[in-house]
Amino acid sequence: MRIRLIGAAALLLALLAPCAVTAEEVAPTYFGKDVSTAKIGGPLHMTDQNGRRRSFEDFRGKVVVIFFGYTRCPDVCPTTLSRMAQVMRLLGPDAERTQVLWVTVDPKRDTQALLHNFIPHFDARFLGLRGTLAQTESLAKSFHVGYQILKYQGTFLVDHSPEGYLIDPAGVTRLKLPYDMTAEQIAADVRTILGQQ
């Protein structure tokens, strides 16, 4: 809503003073939070659900949308992954230039075999990533993603940040995607970023 209002104000300004404000000078607006200058996101060294080693360099030329979670997550993670599957459908041909990555924060219990069963259920193109405890910790930290695992009566309670991050085709983390964004809003931001290349 606020973004739309800013957009409307920018448009109004452009109409009122066409000579002063040209289209190029109007900063692009996003539904997500612009974190382009925050230098978020460290290197990725993890294995996907098929056993292939992955790094961010594998996805240059594509927009990467990355989330953190765990497979026993009852609703936040399935909801996020279902929403991203919807984003891929909305993107149509642009989905080919979009890669969804989902990193487990609980590699002890989320085995590669479990990721292999779990991830393609949402979209066969998604990659589920798993690293060592140290790799998981440093990657999450580099994205300011918090998590902790607590043991409780026969189970493990996992807390984690539900938001995602959008990385542009050059490898720069551009947007933070809050949990309450809709599929339409995420798809619009992916298109905006793809359109800048």
Partner 1 sequence: MNKTLASLAMASALFSVTFSAAAEVTVTDAWVRGMVKGQTETGAYMTIKSTEPTKLVGVSSPVTKVVQLHEMKMDGDVMTMRPLKSLAVPADKPLSFGPDGYHIMLIDLKKPLAKGESVPLKLTFRSQGGKKSSVEVKAEVRALTEPSAPAPMDHAHMQH
> Is residue 154 near Cu ion by the rule CB under 5 A?
no
Summary count for the chain: helices (H), strands (E):
5, 10
Residue 1 as a binder of partner 1 (CB under 8 A): the answer is no
Instruction: Single out the residue of 142, 144, 185, 191 in contact with partner 1 (rule: CB under 8 A).
Output: 144
d(CA 70, CA 18): 51
Residue span binding Cu ion (CB under 5 A) among the ranges 70-78, 103-111, 115-123, 160-168: 70-78
30 vs 143, beta carbon nearer partner 1: 143
- Residues 171 and 70: beta-carbon distance below 8 Å: no
Among 44, 160, 177, 193, the residue binding partner 1 under the rule CB under 8 A is: 160
Q: Is 159 in the site for partner 1 (CB under 8 A)?
A: yes
Q: Does the footprint of partner 1 cover residue 61 (CB under 8 A)?
A: no
Q: Which stretch binds partner 1 (CB under 8 A): 19-27, 46-54, 111-119, 129-137?
A: 111-119
Rounded distance between C-alpha atoms, residue 77 and residue 80, angstroms = 5
Burial class for 80, CB neighbours closer than 10 Å (0-12, 13-18, 19+):
buried
Contact between residue 189 and residue 177 where contact means Cβ atoms under 8 Å apart: yes
In the chain, where do the E strands start and end?
Answer: 33-34, 46-48, 53-54, 63-69, 98-104, 127-130, 147-152, 155-160, 164-167, 173-177
Q: Is 149 in the site for partner 1 (CB under 8 A)?
A: no
Q: How far is the CB of 144 from Cu ion (least distance, A)?
A: 24
CB of 155 to Cu ion, least distance (A): 8
Binding site for partner 1 (CB under 8 A): 71-72, 74-76, 78-79, 81-83, 85, 111, 113-114, 117-118, 121-122, 144, 146-148, 152-155, 157-163, 179
